[in-house]
Amino acid sequence: MSLKRELDDTYLDDHEWLNQIMNLYGEELTRIAYLYLKEWNLAEDAVQETFVKCFQKRAQFRGDSSQKTWIYTILTNTCKDFLKSAFYKKIVFLGSPHQKSFPATESAENLAIIREREYLICQCVLALPVKYREVIILFYYNSFTIKEISNMLRISEAAVRVRLNRGRGKLEKIFTQGGNLDEW
């Protein structure tokens, strides 16, 4: 078997695997990337980058953690690289990065209040510094365990707990201030 053929066969196996992980995690990863980067185009780029890295580094996956944790680790690192990049820092967000329009269905007063609280908490979470935001998202949004987050972010479990508590504290503070984001 020629080298090219051999490489192509391996490539086809990997291609099948790639399709599977894209179907499984594509949407979820894009959302998490958005929660990191607050910009859909950047989130899509980060996810593309993540899948390309996964494909290239598949052989390096040792199975120490679950495949999902491994992929999320790559995503979080990629998002952080984006955040550190000069390109990201130069981006001027025109208007709020967040969706401001509330779904205008059955506008009962209570429902509106609840939705407002939900909107507020989401906005508060997105406004948190990255190191608190990521643990809050991974813990509350993705339901990862503290141990998994610790592996993913390569920090101790204690550090994860501390960041979670501090993140919650900051969220509480903003709630007691009536949700005034300007005072953050």
Partner 1 sequence: MNGDTPELKNLKEAMDKIFLKGNHFSEVHKKIIIRRIQTSHARKLDSIIPKVFIFSLSILFMIVSSVFTYQVIAPNISSDNALENEHIVPQEKVETKTQDQQEDTQTVSPSNDSNTNSNSETKTGPKTLAALSIGKSVKGTGDLVTEVVAVREVPTSEIQTEQTEEVLVGVTIRLENRGNENLSISANKTMKLANAENELQPIIKIDKTLENTLEPGQNIQVEIVFDTSSSEKYKFYFVDLSGEQQTVWLFDYKDL
Q: Are 177 and 183 in contact (CB under 8 A)?
A: yes
End-to-end Cα distance, the chain: 63
**What's the rounded Cα separation, in Å, for the pair 128 and 105?**
29
| Contact residue for partner 1 among 65, 83, 162, 175 (CB under 8 A) | 175
91-110 binders of partner 1 (CB under 8 A): 98-99, 102-103
Using only the alpha carbons of the chain, give its radius of gyration.
Answer: 19
Q: Residue 27 interacts with partner 1 (CB under 8 A)?
A: yes
Instruction: Using alpha carbons, select from 109, 155, 143, 113 the residue that is nearest to residue 32.
Output: 143
- Count of chain residues binding partner 1 (CB under 8 A): 48
| Contact residue for partner 1 among 141, 155, 157, 162 (CB under 8 A) | 141
Q: Residue 11 interacts with partner 1 (CB under 8 A)?
A: yes
Q: Residue 179 interacts with partner 1 (CB under 8 A)?
A: no
Contacts of 6-10 with CB under 8 Å at 24 or more apart are none
28-57 binders of partner 1 (CB under 8 A): 29-31, 34-35, 40, 43-44, 47-48, 51-52, 55-56
Q: Residue 143 interacts with partner 1 (CB under 8 A)?
A: yes
Packed helices 67-84 and 146-153: angle between N→C axes, nearest 10 degrees: 50
Closer residue to partner 1 (CB): 90 or 104 = 104
DSSP state of 140: I
- Sequence-distant (6+) residues with CB within 8 A of 164 are 135, 136, 139, 146
Q: Residue 17 interacts with partner 1 (CB under 8 A)?
A: no
Q: Residue 140 interacts with partner 1 (CB under 8 A)?
A: yes
Please give the residue ranges that form the binding site for partner 1 (CB under 8 A): 3-4, 7, 11, 15, 18-19, 22, 26-27, 29-31, 34-35, 40, 43-44, 47-48, 51-52, 55-56, 98-99, 102-103, 115, 117-119, 121-122, 125-126, 136-137, 140-143, 164, 168-169, 171-172, 175
